[in-house]
Structure 1
Amino acid sequence: MAYHTPSDDGLADDNPNVPRYYAWIVFALSFGLLISDYMSRQVLNAVFPLLKVEWQLSDARLGLLSGIVALMVGLLTFPLSLLADRWGRVRSLALMAVLWSLATLGCGLAQDYNQMFAARFLVGVGEAAYGSVGIAVVLSVFPKHMRATLTGAFMAGGMFGSVLGMALGGGIAAHVGWRWAFAGMALFGLTLAVLYPIIVKEGRIAPQGTQGAARGQGEADDKPARLPLGSLFGSRSVRAAYVGSGLQLFVGGTFIVWMPSFMNRYYAMGADRAGAGAAAVVLASGAGMVLCGMLSDRLCRHSPPRKITLAIAYCLGSCVLLSVAFAMAPGALQLALIGAGMFLAAGTTGPAGAMVANLTHRSIHGTAFATLTLANNLLGLAPGPFLTGVLADHLGLATAFQLVPLLSIASAAVFWYARRHYEHDARCAAAAAAAVAARAPAMEVQA
């Protein structure tokens, strides 16, 4: 019996009307901006040791500088994604990049902790909706059977951006000062922000059928046109996907933020070497996003529920590897286990993104990924660094790192709950999507 997902609705097209070469150009530029996003976000981590000494900061206050960005992303991603869907995704993405780049420049100009905090606040505002709107743009120009691969690969840009932000930021800070590290990240982002709207055109990336539907919604104000929004939280599986993804990112996001400090304190590395060492660990996480997403699509193309089983395995595997690693003394074996654990910790990104895409209507994918981003930040990326900093102040960073991987067990339990209900929820979502597609022609006639 063939398995049907909500992507089999009347609006879905396994071969979007976009030339493949142009689709990859859109991906490359969107991916580049995501790298800039995370370079601007994570360069701060590379200079944590320098700021701690210069401004006499506690670990909790350092963690707050990182957590405020994730908090603003979590709070603003939903409304700003809705605004981007209405105002234009391409223009919105370009303006976001300009804002976070200028705010990153402001970090380099900050004279005290309060000014740095305000600049980081604006970095978070600028970056708030980029991930959700950017992945919606990417998914709109590629076939639906590539969703886990594309989601994992695109979101891996965050890891690669973190790698570059920490490695380059640490190197720049060690040679010319930490202020220039922020300036370098800002220049890269501003350059891409100018190029993006010149090359990526709104009219070329709009999926077939969506423009007419948008006109029908805007002019006729039909209540049925709003029905797809119900799929954002309409099933147990999609709600579990949000929560499971957020809990797992508590683990991965925390280690990304604090790894340079861990290298500095327990391996006696300077800012440049600590940044480079931490970057290698984060690179393993980025590779995990890509390769685990590809594995999910390859093994589970004809059985989407198996992707959730793989997500559970990734959670439990990462928990074991990281728990063992941080119980060991510093050394090569510990670093190898940390790298392997981070590889698996990020593996849930592709399956979780595919679940959200399959259980929500394609016309609201930007909003759906905004909801996923909201969960990722409010449950994981925002509280993780701060709570770990609080634990580090009281117990030491090494002990805090031993406790963090336990959150993966909770994530695995949530994904197991999603696995139990996925097939039923997917059939219901597919039926609802088909009903919406059947009403679309009538809406266009009324408009």
Structure 2
Amino acid sequence: MKKISQVLNWLSSLKIAILLLLLIAISCAAGTLIPQQESNQFYYDSFNNNPLFGLINGNILILFELNHIYTSFWFLLLLTWLGLALAVCSFRRQLPILKSALSWIDYKSPRQIAKLSIAQTIQSNNPSKSLENFSINLKKQGWDVKEREGRIAARKGVIGRLGPILIHLGMILLMIGATYGSLNGKTIERFLAPGRSIDLLNNNEEKELTIKLQKFQIERDPQGRAEQYRSIVKVIEPNGNDEEKEISVNYPLRYKGLTLYQAEWSLSAITIQIDSSPKLQIPIKPIPELGEQVWGTIIPTKIGGENQILLTVTSELGPVTIFDNDGRSLTSLSINKEAKVKNTSIKLINIIPSSGLLLKRDPGVPMVYSSFAIILIGGSLSIISTKKIWVLHEKEKSLIYIGCLSNRNLSGLSKELPKFITLLNN
């Protein structure tokens, strides 16, 4: 039993808790610095030639699970250890303190009161009447009073002792919720063009929801820089129920545990007409070799695949720039404009943007939010001082003994002592 007690004391020690918090904070910082949940090849390509801090290459990152820190074995072990330390601390320290605060201590002799941090002896002509008036006034001020013959015990702010327990409970619930969300949550990022949709499947591979993009708009400043992206999306359930809402950056859609964010924008296709052909919708893709936000495609101008040209575009507003095989710029086309390219007539009908949507389903969110509320309540209660007062008089003497204790702000309580003495003398 002694060894078990020593282990529990070590587990719940403040030094261990601070060390665990420090390690968790460093791990979270590393998780912010290192991209998470990418493919193994991504880490080999990114870190083998340029190791992190000159030491950590892709192989080491994957070996120590730094590519998925928040779901790694060692990070979950740290959270479990901290949760266990908080639970042990609450059961072995905070609960006994709360129990002690709720129990009444009956001081029966002046010597016991004289040993308190704050104590005073006063003269009274009518001690019984003084104690009666003092009890009445304390009750009016919100004190919990217990009276016995010739003595009074009073306390106030006992609920403050509940604060640390609630903080520990909130932190444990926070770690459980965050861990549960990391292990069971889903994150999907997709680019959708207006009119396109994405189906979300449940654990049984059955269609649970359909997200359809109705409309997408990019708002730009006078210099042409993107300022805001807005999407009108429709969430459709298999039973026919649907909900339509506009989302934008910082204004997501929340629907039955699913959060849909407006994350990014892109260009998905251009619609052109070559000579007298029908309207052709041609997909385009990013060309990072030409710039950060450049999309394009290569098309032939003849039926046999001859005379290929490169079409590039940087904005949904256009224009489309056309290059030949040698990389020379031939012409630029604005929307609804037509030009001759290598004896072929090309007309630009429109440029179709796509909305970058980020879908997150985190089942741990209710627990996380609840934990924040519990921690805030616990922190607020912890500010409250627990104060206790004892008063008694000796029948043989006309003396009243008063003593006070407080778990914090003892100097503030000592400044209240003259007020208590005044109440006794009234």
TM range (shorter): under 0.3
Rg comparison, structure with higher value: 2
Higher relative contact order (CA 8 A, sep 6+): 1
Give TM-score scaled by structure 1 length: 0.20
Give TM-score scaled by structure 2 length: 0.21
Please identify which structure carries the higher helix content: 1
